């Protein structure tokens, strides 16, 4: 299923996962900007995405990161628009060239999003590179945390910020086992400093107040991290901390075969803290739940 929504100069496409009810209604989002795209959705929705695009050719596809629910549709876009350039972080370009070799997937990922098609000829982007897409000038910002190669795209003139999966609304109860929570927090703080006027996330709704939404997310993570570290110093186990702060077992932990869990979130706080990697800057804000967002599995 593909949902289309026109938001001024930007067209949003929400692409459903297979078996999405098991994931609580998970959708992946990508955006059209004139003759360009930001992200491409999963492989099993690629042809439907092409059909939903409407008139006009796609000449550039920018990718925020290498996870299969964001790069899977590139193959269908390239078949429909062979001249389209694909631009992404070098790590994403490498994965896209041979997804099965470079990014082995757990069974749930293969079933829900599928193996992306291999696509060669991607153009690597670095921090600060500017790409002109459909009249937009998008600057690449390296924002690791959700994944090491993650990029956000910043359109300074309009104040538009395309965040991929770095920002998704809600309060996460878990995280991928390969994510870096302290790097994610630092990346979110970089986005606040840009003072964006509109956030275009990789899933969930567009927040009404982007700066407040980013600060809520940062504040939630910071407060949670402080509590995790305090309980760990008191001798609590990771599992006990997870149960106390993040609630009981959730079915997503079983569905993802332990790849996305509460303990992984606790462990990420502790892993970086023990290596001295905790960012020192703390944002002090009143805690505020974001009712409009929805947490993502972070695929």
Report the distance separating Cα 102 and Cα 225, nearest Å. 31
pTM attached to this predicted model: 0.90
Residue 272's pLDDT band, with cuts at 50, 70 and 90, is low
Return the DSSP state at 17: P
Q: Is a pLDDT exceeding 80 seen at residue 103?
A: yes
Q: In what order do the strands lie in the sheet with 123-125?
A: 2-7, 10-16, 27-33, 36-38, 60-62, 85-89, 123-125
Count the Cβ atoms, other than its own, within 10 Å of residue 235.
Answer: 7
Where would I find the H helices in the chain?
Answer: 46-52, 68-71, 74-80, 90-97, 99-102, 107-112, 181-194, 210-233, 238-246, 251-255, 262-274
CA 243 – CA 186 distance, rounded (Å): 26
Q: How far apart are CA 249 and CA 256, in angstroms?
A: 13
Greatest mean pLDDT among 12-21, 77-86, 277-286:
77-86
pLDDT at 297 over 60: no
Task: Find how far residue 157's CA is from the centre of its chain.
Answer: 23
Give the mean model confidence (pLDDT) for residues 277-286: 40
CATH architecture of the domain with residue range 2-166: 4-Layer Sandwich (3.60)
Residue 136 above 60 pLDDT?
Answer: yes
Q: Which residues of 270-290 are buried (b: 16+ CB within 10 A; e: fewer)?
A: bebbeeeebeeeebeeeeeeb
Structure confidence at residue 291 as a pLDDT band (50, 70, 90) = very low
Task: Give yes or no for a contact between 87 and 60, defined as CB atoms under 8 angstroms apart.
Answer: yes
Alpha-carbon span 202 to 166, nearest angstrom: 8
Which segment of 13-27, 81-95, 117-131 scores lowest on mean pLDDT? Answer: 13-27
Let me know: does 176 contact 259? Beta carbons within 8 Å: yes
pLDDT of res. 111: 83
Task: State residue 158's pLDDT score.
Answer: 97
Measured over the CA atoms of residue 86, residue 91, residue 94 and residue 100, the dihedral's sign is: negative
């Amino acid at each position: 299923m593909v949902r289309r929504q026109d938001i001024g100069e930007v067209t949003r496409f929400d692409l459903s996962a297979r078996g999405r009810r098991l994931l609580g209604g998970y959708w992946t989002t990508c955006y059209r900007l004139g003759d360009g795209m930001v992200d491409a959705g999963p492989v099993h929705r690629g042809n439907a995405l092409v059909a939903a695009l409407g008139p006009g050719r796609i000449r550039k596809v920018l990718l925020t990161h290498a996870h299969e629910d964001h790069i899977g549709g590139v193959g269908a876009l390239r078949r429909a628009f062979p001249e389209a350039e694909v631009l992404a972080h070098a790590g994403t370009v490498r994965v896209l060239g041979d997804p099965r070799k470079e990014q082995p997937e757990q069974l749930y990922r293969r079933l829900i999003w599928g193996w992306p098609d291999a696509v060669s000829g991607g153009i690597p982007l670095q921090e600060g590179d500017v790409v002109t897409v459909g009249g937009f000038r998008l600057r690449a910002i390296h924002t690791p945390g959700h994944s090491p190669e993650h990029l956000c795209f910043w359109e300074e003139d309009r104040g538009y910020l395309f965040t991929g999966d770095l920002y998704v609304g809600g309060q996460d109860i878990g995280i991928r086992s390969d994510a870096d929570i302290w790097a994610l927090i630092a990346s979110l703080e970089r986005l606040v400093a840009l003072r964006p006027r509109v956030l275009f996330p990789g899933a969930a709704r567009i927040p009404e107040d982007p700066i407040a939404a980013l600060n809520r997310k940062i504040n939630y993570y910071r407060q949670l991290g402080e509590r995790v570290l305090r309980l760990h110093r008191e001798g609590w186990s990771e599992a006990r901390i997870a149960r106390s702060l993040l609630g009981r077992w959730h079915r997503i932990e079983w569905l993802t075969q332990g790849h996305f869990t509460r303990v992984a979130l606790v462990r990420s706080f502790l892993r970086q803290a023990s290596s001295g990697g905790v960012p020192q800057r703390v944002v002090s804000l009143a805690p505020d739940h974001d009712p409009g967002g929805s947490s993502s599995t972070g695929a």
